[in-house]
Amino acid sequence: MAVFLQSLISGILIGGVYALIGIGLTLIFGVMRVINFAHGDILMVGMYLTYILFTFAGIDPFVSVLISFPLMFIFGGFLQKVFINRVLNAVAQNQILLTIGLGLIMSNTVMLIFTSDYKIITTSYSSSTFQLGGGVSVSWPLLISFLITSAITAVLYWFLLKTDTGQAIRATAQDREAAQLMGINVKRMSIIAFGLGSALAGTAGALISPTYYIFPQVGSTFTLKAFVITVLGGMGSVVGATLGGVLIGITESMSAAYISSGWKDVVVFSLFLLVLLLKPSGLMGKSRT
């Protein structure tokens, strides 16, 4: 029982961070129909930002979210304005090539600056826990990052549902031309969406930093994960990405506990295929015509 609870809890907590990564990707796809293959690399940039702030300015990784979120937003907005906007009407292959290229530039630039050595952030609470009883323990840094994730997701829902800009973003996602006819500045919405997506990925990077290690190629693992989460939840669905993230987190954790950690990816991808077979548009996705 302890193993089950332990795996469930760490699965949910890790899943929360996965969800954040997935939401960023799905937001970008929803608004622009561009699949951002640089998503993991943007997350990696967020990790290095956290690392720099922590080592050189002594700013705690969780506090640094306050700095990295706006910085990553600007970074994302810049990428959108300068690069992505130009290919919005191009064929999908060109968009994919562009984002892959951007990702490569990011990871190699970081490699030139920091070398490909693994960096590890050690905070006073890196391995601190509290006991839930019954031999189940919860990692503080994971719990804090889960809480921050939940808060950000809640604010994001509110933003998308209640504010004018949020509604404009959703309108753009629903029908770009119609939104434009209604007087919505879709180019600006695209910039905001990409900025938000990048900020979320960067924040996820910051939140993982205290419990993981940092290296320039770390992005590819997370691009793949974000992809699975987004498709599983339904491309473009924020709720779906949240659900998909937590689901993947739990699946990984459970399969590592009950099968073997070497097999957890097999289980995750089998589940992924199964969902696609039964519900091709993803858990929360609406089929497009």
Partner 1 sequence: MRKHLLALGATLAMSPLMAQKIGVINSMSGPEAPIGESITNGIKLAEEDLAKKGIRVQLVWEDDTGKPQISMSAMEKLATRDNVVGVVGPYTSACSNAVSKLAQKYRVPLLIPAAAKEEITRQGFKYVFRMNAPADRYASSLIDASLTLGKPKTIAFIYENTDFGTSTSKTAKDYVATKGIQVVADEPYPKGSADYRSTLAKIKSKNPDLVFMVSYVADAILLMRQSREVGLQPQAFLGGGAGFTTAEFAREHAISENVISCTQWTDDVNWPGARDFGKRYKAKFGKDATYHAACAYESMMIMAESAAKSGSDRDKTQALLKAGKWNGIMGPVQFADYDGFTNQNNHPMLVQQIQAGGYETIFPKEFATKKAVYPFPRWK
Interacting residue ranges for partner 1, rule: CB under 8 A? 2-3, 6-7, 10-11, 14, 115-118, 120, 122, 126-127, 129, 131, 135, 137, 139, 208, 211-213, 215, 218, 221, 252-254, 256-258, 260-262, 264-265
For partner 1, the closer CB: 10 or 230: 10
For partner 1, the closer CB: 83 or 212: 212
Rounded CA-CA distance 272/268 in Å is: 6
Largest CA distance in the chain: 60
Please report how close the Cβ of residue 149 comes to partner 1 at its closest, in angstroms: 14
Four-residue CA torsion sign, 133, 136, 139, 142? negative
| 136: β partners | 133
Rounded CA-CA distance 30/76 in Å is: 16
DSSP designation for 115: -
Please report how close the Cβ of residue 117 comes to partner 1 at its closest, in angstroms: 5
User: Which residues lie closer than 8 Å to 270 by C-beta, 6 or more apart?
Assistant: none
Task: Compute the C-alpha angle 19/117/42, nearest 5°.
Answer: 30
**Cα within 13 Å of Cα(121), Cβ side:** 29
Q: What are phi and psi of 281, to 5 degrees?
A: -90, 5
The shares of helix, strand and coil residues in the chain, as percent rounded to the nearest 5, are: 75, 5, 20
Tokens of 50: 């956290």
For partner 1, the closer CB: 87 or 256: 256
Please report how close the Cβ of residue 255 comes to partner 1 at its closest, in angstroms: 8
For partner 1, the closer CB: 88 or 254: 254
Please report how close the Cβ of residue 6 comes to partner 1 at its closest, in angstroms: 4
Task: Compute the C-alpha angle 28/29/33, nearest 5°.
Answer: 125
For partner 1, the closer CB: 39 or 176: 39
Please report how close the Cβ of residue 60 comes to partner 1 at its closest, in angstroms: 17
For partner 1, the closer CB: 35 or 47: 47
Please report how close the Cβ of residue 219 comes to partner 1 at its closest, in angstroms: 12
